[in-house]
């Protein structure tokens, strides 16, 4: 039987009320394979959609049987079942299962939904002694995101009302999926409903029939508390989470993470997070701090003068956004701001009249450079941390996704040219050279993929996840990995040399015209290696991890560090020329253009410095930390921010 409990209360019990047998066909379309689960209200089946003859498309068929003889009761049950279907049909979020069909046969109603191959959190807790803290944190952020999406539905918010481990699926790609919307409802202020939910996870006000969006925040906190401490709230006295501090049960949980969860669990609503977006921002701060950074994440509501784009993708700012410039420059407004549906962590790319950017909303967005309007978007099944690479020869844009795939998409139409699947998440940005796409994957390999047809030419095993963007010369491919190795690989896929740093290498290498390879490590050093043999000629120490990839110009090397400094050093000997302190860690890579250095900081600012002396010329405030690199597109400077927005700023000559 498939390892899934897609619907709560329908675990793995056998069902004496199942009406559909294996290999039977319902509605002349769905061939029943097996029972996924069953409960008092009906049965869920795994089925094949026969409308797709060339591929095996699996779906979940949820059957509701109105066993009562009371016509009014049966009508009410069917009405509620249809309400769930209609609720799901209007939603479009990667964490919410899609609905495909609804129909009735005799006294039974059927809902056909996306089949989720995975395991719920309750089962995961039963199978594991302890879940990795970083994974729980990632899932918590994703759950905040989907709840925030529900709470911001128009005209009325949707309250889930039953957040608990058994209603959170982790699919085969490791992504969160929220299941069972059977008791979700729209929220109308000051209107009470019945007490419904699950004891132990429900907020105090929910017991009084007064569920609201903050009730979901409490239930999320209760779910996370259970996962982190393994103390089931259904077995404890109600509302006693304060008597069971998280760190007392699990010393691996950081104080900051515990404080976020415990704030969500406050009995008084005024003491909880006001919104899931607010909670998500604090969780993002925790994630950044656990990676070695101490970052001030913005509270909802930007400071005066900060950009305030509307909630519509592609919309211009509701009020003009300006540079916070130095005395040397006047006020400049961005030409446009395009808002995606989630964080932008990767850099944009541009080709002719289009700009391309990936978002953690799982989409690659193509935006018209002239107007900032949407040209098209291409959906994947995972967040996108890989920056797009442009291949003008084939007119494709190539990028990776956390759904394990490398995609090549037609620049003009957004149609998929080919897809190449790896065995891990792709957070590496591809490099296109020699009609080949070179890219790293979390499955430890660097791949060479034929640009013409998407077929693998070779794969080199680095021994650890590869997050760097390979640098390609006429003879070598150079890449780093999380084990700390930097490897020079021949064009045929064989190792020529390797160099070991002390910690993970997440920054991408850069090779100058003199044959020097520069690469930073999370051990805090920038290394200069001979591209031919990997010999180290010098190394430069910072006081923080280096995630920022270097750029070189006129014998000077520029890069950032989590010690909050942007460094300019002599590329020949590694001696410091100047440094600029941005007060918060610098993760993104710098860009040099016409004597100026542009870079983003986790303090939410985009900076412009004089490349020669490091003096600040201006800064531009966004609504979130910047981990991407700026890109020049014609007369525009493109920068993405974790506030979900891609900004197009006019370059002033």
Question: Per-residue pLDDT tens for 171-230?
Answer: 877 889 988 765 334 433 443 444 466 889 999 988 887 888 999 999 999 999 999 999
Structural domain spans, the chain: 25-114, 119-290
Would you state the pLDDT for residue 340? 92
**Planar angle of CA 554, 558, 562, nearest 5 degrees:** 175
Contact 641, 633 (CB under 8 A): no
Split at pLDDT 50, 70, 90, the class of 296 is very low
> Is residue 648's pLDDT more than 70?
yes
Contact 344, 642 (CB under 8 A): yes
SS3 breakdown of the chain: % helix, strand, coil, rounded to 5? Answer: 15, 35, 50
Question: Per-residue pLDDT tens for 361-420?
Answer: 999 999 999 999 999 999 999 999 999 999 988 899 999 999 999 999 999 999 999 999
Task: Compute, in degrees rounded to 10, the torsion defined by CA atoms 81, 87, 93, 97.
Answer: 10
Taking each helix axis from N to C end, the angle separating 276-290 and 133-151, rounded to the nearest 10 degrees, works out to 160
More confident residue, 237 or 426: 426
> Is residue 635's pLDDT more than 50?
yes
**Cα→Cα distances 3→15, 31, 363, Å:** 17, 19, 28
Question: Per-residue pLDDT tens for 238-269?
Answer: 889 999 999 999 999 999 999 999 999 999 99
Separation between Cα atoms, residue 548 and residue 524, nearest integer Å? 11
Would you state the pLDDT for residue 158? 87
Separation between Cα atoms, residue 114 and residue 118, nearest integer Å? 12
Q: What are phi and psi of 146, to 5 degrees?
A: -70, -35
Residues in the chain: 653
More confident residue, 496 or 83: 496
The CATH fold assigned to 119-290 is Transferase(Phosphotransferase); domain 1 (1.10.510)
Would you state the pLDDT for residue 613? 95
Would you state the pLDDT for residue 175? 84
Would you state the pLDDT for residue 335? 92
* DSSP label of 116: -
Equal fold, 25-114 vs 119-290: no
Question: What pairing do the DSSP bridges indicate for beta strands 436-440 and 431-433?
Answer: antiparallel
Contact 321, 331 (CB under 8 A): no
For residue 114, list its beta bridge partners. Answer: 59
Would you state the pLDDT for residue 11? 35
Would you state the pLDDT for residue 16? 43
Q: Which residue in the list 145, 148, 162, 442 is annotated as catalytic?
A: 162
Question: If phi over 0 gives left and psi between -120 and 50 gives alpha, with beta otherwise, what is residue 88?
Answer: alpha
Separation between Cα atoms, residue 353 and residue 357, nearest integer Å? 14
User: Which stretch, 113-117, 299-303, 400-404, has highest mean pLDDT?
Assistant: 400-404
> Is residue 83's pLDDT more than 60?
yes
Burial (Cβ within 10 Å: 0-12, 13-18, ≥19) of residue 75: exposed
Split at pLDDT 50, 70, 90, the class of 124 is very high
Separation between Cα atoms, residue 641 and residue 343, nearest integer Å? 7
More confident residue, 500 or 37: 500
Tokens 């070991």 found at: 500
Separation between Cα atoms, residue 116 and residue 176, nearest integer Å? 10
**Cα→Cα distances 631→397, 411, 639, 646, 648, Å:** 16, 18, 7, 11, 10
User: How much of the chain, in percent, has pLDDT values that exceed 70?
Assistant: 85
> Is residue 546's pLDDT more than 80?
yes
Would you state the pLDDT for residue 192? 43
CA 637 to chain centre: 24
Lowest mean pLDDT among 24-38, 73-87, 90-104, 133-147: 73-87
In 385-484, at which residue ranges do the beta strands (DSSP E only) sit?
Answer: 389-391, 396-400, 405-410, 416-421, 431-433, 436-440, 445-450, 456-461, 471-472, 476-480
Question: What pairing do the DSSP bridges indicate for beta strands 605-610 and 596-600?
Answer: antiparallel
User: How much of the chain, in percent, has pLDDT values that exceed 90?
Assistant: 64
Question: Per-residue pLDDT tens for 319-334?
Answer: 323 233 333 333 467 8
Taking all residues of the chain, what is their mean pLDDT, rounded to a whole number? 85
Split at pLDDT 50, 70, 90, the class of 20 is confident
Split at pLDDT 50, 70, 90, the class of 344 is very high
CA 423 to chain centre: 18
Question: What pairing do the DSSP bridges indicate for beta strands 176-178 and 323-325?
Answer: unpaired
Would you state the pLDDT for residue 332? 61
Closest CA to 255 of 222, 290, 281, 223: 290
Separation between Cα atoms, residue 136 and residue 227, nearest integer Å? 8
Q: Which two tokens stand for residue 349?
A: 């790319």
Would you state the pLDDT for residue 617? 92
Question: Per-residue pLDDT tens for 494-544?
Answer: 999 999 999 999 999 999 988 999 999 999 999 999 999 999 999 999 999
CA 580 to chain centre: 30
Would you state the pLDDT for residue 298? 36
Would you state the pLDDT for residue 194? 44
Question: Per-residue pLDDT tens for 441-485?
Answer: 999 999 999 999 999 999 999 999 999 999 999 999 999 999 999
Cα end-to-end distance, the chain, whole Å:
65
Separation between Cα atoms, residue 434 and residue 490, nearest integer Å? 13
Task: Compute, in degrees rounded to 10, the torsion defined by CA atoms 339, 343, 348, 351.
Answer: -40
More confident residue, 109 or 404: 404
Separation between Cα atoms, residue 570 and residue 129, nearest integer Å? 51
Separation between Cα atoms, residue 24 and residue 46, nearest integer Å? 12
> Is residue 312's pLDDT more than 70?
no
Would you state the pLDDT for residue 623? 84
| Domain range 25-114, CATH class | alpha beta
Would you state the pLDDT for residue 302? 37
SS3 readout for 312-359:
CCCCCECCCCCEEECCCCCCCCCCEEEECCCCCCCCCEEECCEEEEEC
Would you state the pLDDT for residue 300? 37
> Is residue 14's pLDDT more than 80?
no
Mean pLDDT of 587-600: 95
Q: Which two tokens stand for residue 498?
A: 């390797």
What order do you get walking across the sheet with 405-410 strand by strand? 389-391, 396-400, 405-410, 416-421
Separation between Cα atoms, residue 530 and residue 182, nearest integer Å? 62
Contacts of 16 (CB under 8 A, 6+ apart): none
Q: Is 162 one of the catalytic residues?
A: yes
Tokens 């199942």 found at: 18
């Amino acid at each position: 039987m498939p390892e899934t409990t897609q619907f709560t209360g329908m675990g793995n019990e056998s069902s004496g009320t199942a009406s559909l047998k294996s290999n039977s066909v319902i509605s002349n379309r769905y061939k029943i394979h097996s029972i996924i689960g069953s409960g008092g209200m009906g049965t869920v089946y795994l089925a094949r959609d026969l409308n797709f003859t060339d591929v095996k498309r699996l779906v979940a068929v949820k059957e509701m049987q109105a066993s009562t003889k009371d016509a009014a009761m049966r009508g009410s049950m069917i009405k509620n079942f249809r309400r769930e279907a209609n609720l799901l049909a209007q939603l479009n979020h990667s964490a919410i299962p899609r609905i495909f069909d609804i129909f009735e046969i005799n006294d039974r109603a059927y809902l056909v939904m996306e089949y989720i191959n995975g395991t719920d959190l309750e089962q995961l807790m039963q199978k594991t002694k302890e879940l990795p803290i970083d994974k729980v944190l990632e899932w918590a952020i994703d759950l905040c995101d989907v709840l925030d999406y529900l709470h911001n539905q128009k005209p009325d918010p949707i309250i889930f009302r039953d957040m608990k481990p058994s209603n959170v699926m982790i699919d085969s790609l490791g992504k969160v999926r929220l299941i069972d919307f059977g008791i979700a409802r729209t929220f109308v202020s000051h209107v009470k409903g019945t007490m419904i939910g699950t004891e132990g996870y429900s907020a105090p006000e929910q017991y009084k029939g007064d569920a609201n969006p903050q009730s979901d925040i409490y239930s999320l906190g209760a779910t996370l508390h259970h996962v982190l401490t393994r103390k089931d709230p259904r077995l404890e006295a109600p509302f006693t989470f304060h008597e069971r501090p998280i760190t007392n049960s699990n010393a691996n949980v950081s104080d900051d993470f515990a404080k976020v969860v415990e704030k969500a669990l406050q009995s008084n609503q005024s003491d909880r997070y006001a919104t899931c977006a607010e909670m998500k921002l604090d969780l993002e701060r925790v994630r950044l701090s656990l990676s070695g950074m101490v970052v001030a994440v913005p509270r909802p509501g930007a400071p005066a003068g900060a950009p305030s784009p509307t909630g519509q993708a592609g919309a211009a700012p509701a009020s003009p956004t300006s540079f916070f410039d130095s005395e040397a420059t006047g006020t400049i407004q961005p030409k446009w701001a395009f808002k995606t549906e989630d964080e932008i962590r990767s850099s944009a790319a541009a080709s002719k009249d289009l700009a391309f950017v990936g978002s953690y909303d799982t989409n690659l967005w193509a935006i018209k450079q002239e107007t900032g309007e949407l040209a098209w978007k291409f959906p994947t099944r995972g967040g996108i941390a890989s920056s797009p690479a442009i291949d003008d020869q084939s007119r494709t844009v190539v990028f990776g996704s956390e759904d394990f795939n490398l995609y090549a998409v037609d620049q003009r139409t957004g149609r998929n040219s080919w897809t190449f699947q790896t065995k891990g998440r792709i957070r590496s940005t591809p490099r296109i050279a020699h009609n080949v796409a070179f890219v790293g994957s979390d499955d430890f390999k660097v791949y060479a993929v034929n640009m013409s047809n998407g077929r693998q030419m070779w794969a080199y095993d680095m021994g650890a996840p590869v997050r760097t963007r390979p640098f390609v010369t006429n003879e070598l491919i150079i890449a780093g990995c999380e084990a700390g190795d930097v490897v020079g690989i021949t064009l045929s896929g064989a190792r020529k040399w390797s160099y070991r740093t002390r910690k993970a290498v997440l920054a991408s290498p850069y090779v100058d015209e003199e044959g020097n390879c520069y690469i930073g490590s999370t051990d805090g050093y920038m290394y200069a290696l001979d591209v031919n043999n990997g010999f180290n000629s010098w190394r430069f120490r910072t006081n923080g991890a280096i995630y920022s990839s270097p750029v070189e110009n006129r014998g000077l090397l520029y890069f950032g560090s989590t010690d909050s400094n942007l460094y300019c050093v002599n590329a020949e000997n590694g001696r410091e020329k100047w440094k600029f302190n941005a007060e918060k860690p610098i993760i993104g890579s710098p860009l040099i253009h016409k004597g100026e250095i542009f870079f983003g900081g986790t303090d939410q600012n985009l900076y412009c410095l004089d490349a020669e002396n490091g003096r600040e010329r201006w800064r531009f405030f966004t609504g979130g930390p910047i981990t991407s690199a700026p890109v020049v597109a014609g007369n525009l400077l493109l920068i993405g921010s974790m506030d979900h927005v891609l900004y197009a700023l006019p370059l002033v000559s």
